[in-house]
A and B are shown apart, each in its own frame.
Chain A
Amino acid sequence: MAVTVEEVVELVRLQLGRGIVRRSDRLMEDLGADSADILNLIVAVEDRFGISIDEEDLARLATVDELARLVAARV
């Protein structure tokens, strides 16, 4: 199954309660996520796409686009 960037963007939008989310948005600085929000976002991604994201991946995730590429690579 191919995961589109749009699906990941939509999930970020729902999780963070944002009207508009762009691929280039940084999760913390632009979208106002705190550390708990990031962890909840990861849990939602794991539930939604049936993948697992480990600690090392997490440390490297800054933008929506990076998250989308990580998800696409794992599914």
Chain B
Amino acid sequence: MNAMGSPSNLLEVLERHAVERLDRTAYHFEGAPHSFGELWHEAGRFATALRARGLERGDRVVLAIPNGPDFFTVFYGIQRAGGVPVPAFPRSGARRLERLAARCTASLVVIASSEVGDRTVEEQTPAGIDLFVAGTPLPDAIDPTLPEVRPEELAYLQYTSGSTGEPKGVEVRHAALLTNIRQMIAGMEITASDVFVSWLPVHHDMGLVLMTMVPLYLGAPLYLLPTRLRSPGNWLAEIERRRGTFTAAPDFAYRLCLHRGTASRSYDLSSLRVALNAAEPVRKTTLEEFAGRFGVPGVMRPAYGLAEATVGVSMCRLGSEVRVDDRGFVSVGYPFPDIEIALLASEQLVEAGEIGEILVKSPANTTGYWSDPEASRELFWGAGYLRTGDLGYLAADGELYVVGRTKNLIIQGGRNIAPKEVEEAVDSLPFVRSSAAVGIDRGGDEGEQVYLFVELRKSSATGAFAEMTVQLVEAVHAHLGLRPGRVYLMPARGLPRTPNGKIRYPELRGRYLDGDLRDAGLLLFPSY
């Protein structure tokens, strides 16, 4: 690294922190401090172990590790070894990890030990791929020949649910990553005096880039919590205790805080400067209730972003009132520096006020999806515009409103889920003929949830429905680490389809919400 020059990737920044002040705290996890020296050294030891196993430059490594020191050791260790980390949901089952490893042709899967992981090693051991359990002893001496990272190389692959429902690996390169970190720092006016408090999962973009890389880049205090808190009140209590100034979560998490388990005491959140609200539709009621309940007007900031632009794209400006349009859509603000937003309808750019697909032009845009040239081609429009798959409009002064999405995608608790991921978890069960997962938002605190509609084989149509339902929920949970909001059993050919047999998802959702599926006798079980 050129000690005098401007860093060209985040690793150089981390190394600089470690060299300049070895003992300086990089982050706290569950109250315990971890220094930059430790982070850098442990990543180096992990990189050394990977090189000894034959990892080569550009090799993909899947990691399924929950929030905590092991994540940083493994993630940055893979990068330091010249590899490409591919973060996975830490509660993924073995089959899901196998599929992910196959999709990105990974040579190795790294999981957490049973003591710190969200699942046992046995539940996560994929077949046919090398496995490494984090926490197993690493070499003491660090390989002096670890490669230099180049800005145009991949920093990581972020798997996300693409427009056709098949998970796709967004290519995030070192240069784009550093660019987006700086865009967010400028756009959100973040400084090294900010105090970050996060319980977002580090395997996903907002929790990874905004809530860990930004503070690590600046050397700002970071208090990281496990994602599985007993109560959302623990998050608020940590903000209070640490005098946190910056936090972020999807609307769902704020709703939980307002409505569940936090009524028994008050929380002093007056230190907060920004409570960013992004990753799922922002509700006007959440903004109002959060400001009123905690006496922090103007702190909750709706924001917009997506993995294809690294993560952050826009946020409501600090100190200005969050605007809500006459249909109740909440503004997500103005784009960060060097980001241009345009709207596309019928393959034409449209004027302010007109609804279209949101396009993003940014130096932090991805180069495409891993090993998927067709999807990568479809991702871009015109001269460097990224198609987000989200619908919105720009107000006359350039403020962005998101009103919906063009993609068939489910956003449950801020997590994007492709219907196919849910369906592939159950389609191999013997009584399943076919299945379809859709996102249903009934307006309650739970927000959009996966509703799974399962066509039974003819021979099973009078069987033990309750046992089948239990098996279906179990299968989804084992595969994805979440449970559907509801599972409905249907007769064979009950799902609405096109003439060539493709499931009509919008029609399925509409007919369910209208009560039409029930009226037509297509919901065999349950009765509610």
Contact = CB atoms under 8 A, between A and B. Distances in A.
B351 interface: no
Contact of A35 (B260, B264, B487, B527): B260
Nearest to B449: A40
Given A39-B445, A39-B446, A44 B483 contact: no
B263 to A, nearest CB: 6
Contacts of A47: 528
B126 interface: no
Contacts of A17: 469-474, 476-477, 483
Contacts of B470: 13-14, 17-19
A50 B482 CA distance: 26
Interface string B449-486: 10000000000000000100111111011000011111
Contacts of A74: none
Contacts of A36: 252, 412-413, 446, 449, 482-483
Contacts of A63: none
Most B-side CB within 10 Å, residue of A17, A44, A47: A17
B458 to A, nearest CB: 23
Nearest to B466: A14
Interface residues of A, number: 24
A39 B444 contact: yes
Contacts, number: 70
Given A58-B259, A59-B260, A40 B486 contact: yes
The main secondary structure of chain A at its interface with chain B is helix
A10 interface: yes
Interface residues of B, number: 35
Contacts of B466: 10, 13-14
Contacts of A58: 259-260
- Interface centre among B230, B470, B487, by most chain A C-beta atoms within 10 angstroms, is B470
B263 A55 contact: yes
Nearest to B474: A17
A48 B477 contact: no
Contacts of B259: 55, 58
Interface string A7-43: 0001001111111000000001000001111111001
Nearest to B227: A34
Contacts of A43: 442, 444, 446, 485-486
Contact of B232 (A10, A35, A48): A35
B526 interface: yes
A18 B526 CA distance: 16
A43 B446 CA distance: 9
Contacts of B485: 40, 43
A16 B483 contact: yes
A12 to B, nearest CB: 11
A7 to B, nearest CB: 11
Contacts of A35: 232, 256, 260
Contacts of A13: 466, 470
Contacts of A19: 470
A14 B470 CA distance: 5
B261 interface: yes
A19 B471 CA distance: 8
Contacts of B256: 35
Residue of A14, A38, A43, A55 ringed by the most chain B CB atoms within 10 A: A14
B263 A56 contact: yes
B228 interface: yes
Contacts of B471: 17
B486 A44 contact: yes
Interface of B: 228, 230, 232, 252, 256, 259-261, 263-264, 412-413, 442, 444-446, 449, 466, 469-474, 476-477, 482-487, 526-528
6 contacts: A14-B470, A14-B526, A17-B472, A36-B412, A48-B526, A59-B263
The 6 tightest CB contacts between A and B, nearest first, are: A17-B473, A39-B446, A47-B528, A17-B474, A48-B528, A40-B485
Given A36-B483, A59-B261, 7 more contacts: A15-B483, A16-B473, A17-B474, A40-B484, A43-B442, A48-B528, A55-B260
